[in-house]
Structure 1
Amino acid sequence: MRIDNHDQSLAGNCLVAMPSITERAFRKAVILICAHSPAGAIGLLINRPAMNMTLRQLLAEYGLPLPPIRPSVPLHVGGPADIDRAFVLHSCEYHLPKHTHVVSDEISLTAERGILRDMGASRGPDRAFVALGYCGWGPCQLEREVQDGRWLTTASDGQMVFDTPSPQRWHAAMSGMGVATFGLSQQFGHA
């Protein structure tokens, strides 16, 4: 996975779905954009808990060591692409050479099994968010979707990713932007 950022990059920001997005996978979605370049964008849904999978099960499935206590890190659905692959958003003190990409001052991304091995051995990052799969956009696709009013963009921070409960992230992002959600239209377009 090649990750490049450019001057107009949305990397490190969140996309917040407008009510006009009715596809089940993206309805009321909050997506952290991890990389954005002229070639496209990659992001992770941060408010879709995985219902039938735990970190402990994932570690066992990968044949990795299990921590001595039950891991408290919930698993999430990161998006519809590459759903068999784990992507870990984590605090920046952890770094796996050649595999960790800095998303923002507070958040890094590692999509290599070594981080899961380290987490299972209690040597992983202080804070972590584990997702299966990712969201991807081709050249100019994300820019068109934002311009068409499908997504609002807002700055992200470690609190939104690591501390805010998943079911509250969409409302928290909207209220953080000063948007009252009860009056939003499901129609989108240009004025």
Structure 2
Amino acid sequence: MGERYVSEPRRTIRVQTALVNSGQRPHSSIMTDTTDLTGKLLIAMPDMGDPRFDRAVIFICAHSADGAMGLIVNKPAPDVRFSDLLEQLSIDEGDQTTDVRIHFGGPVETGRGFVLHTSDYKLGAGTMEVAGGFAMTATLDILEDIATGGGPKRSMLGLGYTGWGPGQLESELVKNGWLVCDATDDILFGRAAEHKWTAALKVLGVNPLMLSASGGSA
């Protein structure tokens, strides 16, 4: 969960916010026939050893034989407001600016911003469409559009991302590190951060109180 997976385009969202220092982790060489998880949610099991991912819910933006990339959607970035971010990036805030929740997206490249949003907004090559009616844009253009009221219907911004090298996510799934469920608008954009982990488990019909911390199954 510490692999660099995303190349950097022009006009990338760069912020001066230090959140978590992350060391790169060696990836596993194990490769399985795990289904493509693009557009799915990963739900951290209770015995997740890394505190950065304690009760984390991660939206998978891309998954292939080359690895995977996702954004944590339930860990708000401390002391970072959207209005302050716009000011830092010299983007004027208009009368129709929609407030955007800012989260810690993961330990890789925490100085970069990634906007996860509904697919009603598209910016050509600057937008990566994801399964399930969601998309991700990582250029300043989307923030400028949000500031003028022309952005997506629903969105959140992740600082940094979570990356896996080839076979690493598959290995963690085999070891019961994560549960997988479908992503919904409500979980991504509607629920308060502290309720998303429980809400994601309920999509699977799992009672958090009955979840085994070691078995990986309900």
- For the residue of structure 1 that corresponds to 2:52, the secondary structure is coil
Single out whichever of 170-179 and 27-36 deviates more from structure 2.
170-179
Task: Specify the alignment match of 2:128 in structure 1.
Answer: 101
Residues in 2 aligned to 1:152 and 1:158: alpha-carbon distance in whole angstroms: 19
Residues in 1 aligned to 2:196 and 2:210: alpha-carbon distance in whole angstroms: 18
TM-score normalised by L of structure 2: 0.80
- For the residue of structure 2 that corresponds to 1:98, the secondary structure is helix
Aligned counterpart for 2:204 among listed residues 170, 177, 182: 177
Residues in 2 aligned to 1:82 and 1:55: alpha-carbon distance in whole angstroms: 19
Residues in 2 aligned to 1:107 and 1:114: alpha-carbon distance in whole angstroms: 18
Q: Percent identity?
A: 36
User: How far off its partner does 1:43 sit?
Assistant: 0.2
Q: CA RMSD in A?
A: 2.0
User: How far off its partner does 1:67 sit?
Assistant: 2.5
- Alignment check: 8 A CA contact 2:97 2:149 kept: no
| Structure (1/2) with the larger strand percentage | 1
The reply on whether 1:89 has 2:116 as its aligned counterpart is yes
Letter in 2 for 1:36: H
Q: Which runs of 5+ in 1 are unaligned?
A: none
1:71-90 deviation line (CA, Å, top 9, x unaligned): 42221111111111111111
User: How far off its partner does 1:189 sit?
Assistant: 7.2
TM-score normalised by L of structure 1: 0.91
Task: Specify the alignment match of 2:15 in structure 1.
Answer: none
Task: Specify the alignment match of 1:167 in structure 2.
Answer: 194
- Alignment check: 8 A CA contact 2:179 2:216 kept: no
* Runs of 4+ more than 6 Å apart: none
Aligned counterpart for 2:59 among listed residues 25, 32, 35: 32
Aligned counterpart for 1:52 among listed residues 64, 73, 79: 79
1:26-63 deviation line (CA, Å, top 9, x unaligned): 01000000000100000000000112101111111111
Letter in 2 for 1:139: P
Letter in 2 for 1:77: F
- Alignment check: 8 A CA contact 2:34 2:170 kept: no
Letter in 1 for 2:108: A
Single out whichever of 147-156 and 122-131 deviates more from structure 2.
122-131
